């Protein structure tokens, strides 16, 4: 009997870890959130632009408990990210390793904390600086829903690039919705 309960508990925990029980969102949810939190979302975009190093962008995601889940430096000329080795494993924002990595970016712990609070106020979890700025709304399992926010209306060629109905949803010339699937689970926007 106990072995059966342990087996079921193991599988429930495993499936939960992969997001089986996570909330999924639809386009309406994202548009409503964007409209409700538009000012806060643009404050995240503006602040990320303000603190990004001159020749590099960054990509940072915070967990629910405020720890860093992902931190990357993205050289502007290549657009390809490189992980800040080990940064995602330091739960303590004041750790020496994280501090030394942030010094390389020119971002202080205080600036990172301000960014974290701005994301929280926007009901979001991540930001990838640059133009456009990608602001991660929420995760569902390993997938992430994001707002791709432009300063100026995008060109027709960019509209074509973002017309992929699997990953992107065009809202208007300054806003695209994105769903990035994880290693497992759906790879496209849920159809509901």
Q: What is the pLDDT of residue 1?
A: 56
Q: What is the pLDDT of residue 17?
A: 43
Average pLDDT estimate for 97-117: 80
> In this structure, what token pair is assigned to residue 169?
């949803």
By residue count, the chain amounts to 192
Q: What is the pLDDT of residue 22?
A: 57
E strands within 108-165?
Answer: 126-128, 133-140, 143-149
Q: What is the pLDDT of residue 67?
A: 81
Is the predicted pLDDT of residue 45 greater than 90, yes or no?
Answer: yes
pTM (global) more than 0.85: no
What residue segments make up the domains of the chain, in order of their start?
Answer: 23-180
CA angle 142, 190, 151 (to 5 degrees): 80
Residues 6 or more apart from 129 whose CB is under 8 A from it?
A: 48, 49, 51, 52, 57, 58, 59, 74
Residues 6 or more apart from 9 whose CB is under 8 A from it?
A: none
Number of neighbouring beta carbons within 10 Å of residue 42: 15
- Buried-exposed string 141-152: b where 16+ CB fall within 10 A, e elsewhere: bbbbbbbbbbee
Cα torsion for 49, 138, 108, 56, to the nearest 10°? -40
Share of the chain above pLDDT 70, in %: 70
Q: What is the pLDDT of residue 13?
A: 42
Phi-psi region of 113 (alpha: psi -120 to 50; beta: other; left: phi over 0): alpha
Task: Give the C-alpha separation, 136 to 61, whole Å.
Answer: 8
**Residue 87 carries which DSSP code?**
G
Q: What is the pLDDT of residue 184?
A: 58
Higher pLDDT, 19 or 188: 188
Bridge partners for 148 per DSSP = 134, 176
């Amino acid at each position: 009997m106990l072995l059966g309960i342990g087996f079921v508990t193991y599988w429930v925990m495993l499936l939960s870890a992969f997001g089986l029980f996570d909330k999924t969102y639809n386009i309406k949810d994202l548009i409503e959130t964007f409209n409700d939190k538009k000012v806060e979302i643009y404050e995240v975009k503006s602040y990320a632009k303000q603190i990004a190093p001159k020749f590099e962008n960054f990509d940072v995601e915070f967990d629910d408990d405020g720890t860093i889940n992902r931190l990357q430096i993205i050289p502007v000329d290549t657009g390809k990210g490189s992980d800040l080795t080990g940064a995602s494993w330091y739960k303590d924002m004041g750790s020496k390793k994280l501090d030394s990595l942030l010094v390389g970016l020119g971002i202080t712990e205080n600036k990172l904390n301000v960014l974290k609070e701005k994301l929280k106020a926007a009901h979001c979890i991540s930001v990838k600086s640059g133009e456009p700025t990608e602001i991660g709304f929420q995760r569902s399992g390993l997938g992430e829903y994001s707002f791709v926010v432009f300063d100026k209306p995008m060109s027709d060629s960019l509209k074509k690039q973002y017309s992929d109905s699997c990953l992107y949803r065009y809202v208007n010339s300054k806003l695209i919705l994105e769903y990035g699937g994880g290693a497992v689970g759906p790879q496209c926007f849920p159809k509901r």
